Structure 1
Amino acid sequence: MTAQGEHATSTTAADVPRRNWAGNVRYAARAFHRPTSVDELRRLVAGSNRIRAVGSGHSFNRFGDTDGDLVTLAGLPPVVDLDRERGQVTVSGAMRYGDLARHLHTQGYALANLASLPHISVAGAVATATHGSGQTHGNLASAVAGLELVTADGDLLRVDRDADAFAGMVVGLGALGLITRVTLDVVPTFELRQYVRLDLDREALDEALGSAYSVSVFTDFRSPRLREVWRKQVADQPLPPADWLGTTAADAPRHPVLGMPVENCTPQLGEPGPWHERLPHFKFGFTPSSGDELQSEYHVPRAAAADALAALDDVAHLIAPVLLVSELRTVAADELWLSPNHQRDSFVLHFTWVDDTAAVLPVVAQVEERLAPFAPRPHWGKVFVTDPAELAARYPRYADFAALLRHLDPTGTFRTELLDRYFPR
């Protein structure tokens, strides 16, 4: 992803991304780095007045941008340390979930859930509370049992669930330090089947969302009916009946974005397979989603699902022309301070927009206005325009995180312009 004609400031930084995955953010860093050891990273942090880490770049805003030093941790020695007795695995922060999942499966273990694409890094996904779906499953950060990070003074800090303010550090937006290792809870490996059902009535949405291990519903806001339901069920559970909730079974594989190649998607049609080849929508070796896109996402209380969706009916005519697809999911509550699922089970409305910022931002504002009665919490890595004061009011521990940020980074080493907007010094 290095832009043509640009050169790194050191011989180890040639493949540090200069843009995010979608291409809508061009990083403003003065220098790019790829350290090959934790000690080198510590020296780099200690000697910088402004530094940020870039993971897979699958973020659509400037929380991760900096005018200082940008560093990838992908050059650090890989770590996968499985602790069978504790039921945990410690991995490099830069490791991608797809790589980790394959290794765990060969050892007889699994993660309880995965996001829709396995290409994202563990540290980046955790720091932004990225998630999969399932009424009983928390977001990916809820599986974190420990962290190792380089703090603003270059020290190496290790914390676990017993540490003070641990719940404030997990979803840390990259603002508390550079995460070098993450310890995650694991479970025994398992198999799933994936079925796609077509044309769901909105009145059946709640039942559909709770019908399987992981469920995603896709719509385009061009019709009051919901286009597709992707059900990922445990392999030995009974098959859905032919007339399940009035839908029909897809007779061929589907891609969430119409017109995109179905070969990019994980196997459907009920073919059983390992968890890591069914929970994501997209295969590890293929380009996820459409590539040329923007994304927004809002978490509202689970009980408000039908009302929140209905609240967007008045602006459906604005949404549809700039929308590639919308995905509806559920996520279980957790206690992490900046998690959009903090202390409430959530219904999630995700929007994959066309790659046109000028056209999309006014529609995003309209979506946020209609969802405001439900206190929506935006995904930290997506496009949103929420007023900082409004956002702060939606998180009971927002002020506590701001205090933790000032304590761990008093000089603003990990600060960015967008962080300063939402967490003023």
Structure 2
Amino acid sequence: MTGTNWAGNLTYHATALHQPGSIEELSALVAAAPSARALGSRHSFNAIADTTGVQISVAGLPPVVEVDAAAREVTVSAGLRYGELVEELDQAGWALHNLASLPHISVAGAIATGTHGSGDRNGSLASSVAGLELVTADGTVRSVRRGDPDFDGMVVSLGLLGVVTKVTLDIIPTFQIRQDLYEGVPWESIETDLDAITGSAYSVSLFTDWGAGGAGQAWVKSRADAAPREEFFGARPAARQLHPLPGEQADVATTQLGAAGPWWDRLPHFRLGFTPSNGEELQTEYLVPREHALEAIRAVRALAPRVQPHLLISEIRTIAADALWLSPSHSVGCLAIHFTWRMHVPEVTALLPVIDAALAPCAARPHWGKVFETAPQRLLEAYPRIPDLRALADRLDPEQTFANRLTSHWLSR
């Protein structure tokens, strides 16, 4: 056994965990392995990183942060966590356009599963990928760039095409963000002004327990020169620093109350030096096209009596469209509905098909790194480029070295 995932709900079945120190060692290891999976920061809540063969971490490869100012790109080692990259990038005068809720996740792992931040005009983390270096099943080191054939299928790849070693990301000039929190956004405002709410700032997150009170918190992240608001669609400004989860200490969260700060210390919800969120939890997330946003919110509200006993909090946010085949926001801007569950594994597991059925009419796409129960046929309807990824994987990995039980089920013919 090689340990558990971050949440502790999974014990991996791998026979060994390898952490090669060089590309040559990694290539030899991959070429000799009948079955292998890349392992990132262990933050996936399902078995996407599991295998009956060997797990491979690239965290031991030499760290790389190479800025190309002329191209507006940075090339980084795939095993770096975002929190280990952002300050160095900022000191060089550059930024990433978006970050996830927590900086603890690895660059390659976040990209491979379609992980995202928030903002009507902000694409997922994977949308900023301009190039990849990876080791394919025969041990070959391969580099691809945006615009190359099949590139759009190689970014959000579920780890099926090889072990990513370097990632080249688009960068923008560094900037400052202020974070204002508001309490008590009523459902009436969400029903009538959802587009105005999500479009009111660089990034907006609504936190709710699906009760009658609406969204208990709105996290509004604006460029530093934006004027503060006295009210927010019927909500009142928070008078103290808050944590998204009830009863948790707010000092683990990024700075609020309108204090401007660097992009990397405001766009995430949580700080690198602390356990993010609750720690002992499960997570589920669905992304729905914006045209179905209110329909999806209403569908989950109708399930509130069944959801609330097992829920810590839900987050509602938005993501811009991208061109990546298996991205949850492929070809369409989306509203994301995220569930942070209590560690009620049997009860949550029983709820998953209920939630999937409720959101299926909204063309909902599940997040690949969370727990969900979606039949392969419905996955194919939600992700119509699955056959293209399957064909690409057949070409690059004909022996299915990087497949596992879960990915084979998701992509089954």
CA distance in 2 between partners of 1:287 and 1:111 (Å): 23
CA distance in 2, matches of 1:99, 1:218: 27
Alignment of 1:156-305 (within 5 A): 156-205=141-190, 206=194, 207-240=196-229, 242-305=230-293
**Equivalent AA in structure 1 for residue 155 of structure 2:** V
Q: Deviations over 1:357-381 (max 9, x none)?
A: 1010122221111111101100000
Q: Of 358, 380, 390, which residue of structure 2 is paired with 1:402?
A: 390
Aligned partner of 2:278: which letter?
Answer: S
Q: For residues 335 and 215 of structure 1, what CA distance do their matches in structure 2 show?
A: 23
Q: How many residues align?
A: 409
Listed as ranges, the gaps of 5+ residues in structure 2 are none
Whole-Å Cα distance in 2 between the matches of residues 103 and 404 of structure 1? 35
Q: 8 Å contact 2:202–2:223 — kept in the other structure?
A: yes
Match of 1:103 among 88, 91, 99: 88
Per-residue deviation, 1:303: 2.2
Q: Quick one: distance in 2 between partners of 1:244 and 1:75? A: 46
SS at match of 1:245: coil
Q: Which amino acid aligns with 1:336?
A: L
Post-superposition CA distance 1:253-312 (Å, at most 9, x none): 110111111010000000110000000000111110000000000000112211210112
Mapped to 2, the partners of 1:269 and 1:149 lie a distance apart of: 42
- What is residue 403 of structure 2 aligned with on the other side? 415
The offset of 1:224, in angstroms, is: 4.8
Q: CA deviation at 1:221?
A: 1.5
| Partner Cα separation in structure 2 for residue 364 and residue 195 of structure 1 | 33
Task: Please say if residues 179 and 221 of structure 2, whose CA atoms lie closer than 8 Å, have aligned partners that are also in contact.
Answer: yes
* Contact 2:285-2:337 at 8 Å conserved across structures: yes
Of residues 278, 284, 296, the one that matches 1:308 is: 296
Which residue matches 1:346? 334
Paired with 2:39 and 2:3, the residues of 1 have a C-alpha distance of 10
Q: Distance in 1 between matches of 2:135 and 2:61?
A: 13
Matches within 5 A, 1:9-20: 18-20=3-5
TM-score, normalising length: structure 2: 0.97
Structure 1: tracts of 5 or more residues without a match: 1-5, 7-16
Moved >6 Å (runs of 4+): none
* Residue aligning to 1:46: 31
The 2-side partners of 1:203 and 1:168 are apart by 40
TM-score by length of 1: 0.95
Partners of 1:204 and 1:169 in 2: CA distance: 40
Structure 1 counterpart of 2:16: 31
* Matched AA of 1:20: N
**Deviation at 1:238?**
1.2
Determine helix, strand or coil for the equivalent of 2:47. coil
Residue aligning to 2:361? 373
- Tell me the CA shift for residue 336 of structure 1: 0.3
Q: Which amino acid is 1:289 matched to?
A: S
Offset, 1:337: 0.2
Question: How far apart in 1 are the matches of 2:385 and 2:37?
Answer: 24
CA distance in 2 between counterparts of 1:362 and 1:314 reads: 17
Give the root-mean-square deviation of aligned CA atoms: 1.0
In the alignment, residue 4 of structure 2 is paired with which amino acid?
R
Matches within 5 A, 1:66-85: 66-85=51-70
Q: Counterpart amino acid of 1:328? A: I
Match of residue 124 from structure 1:
109
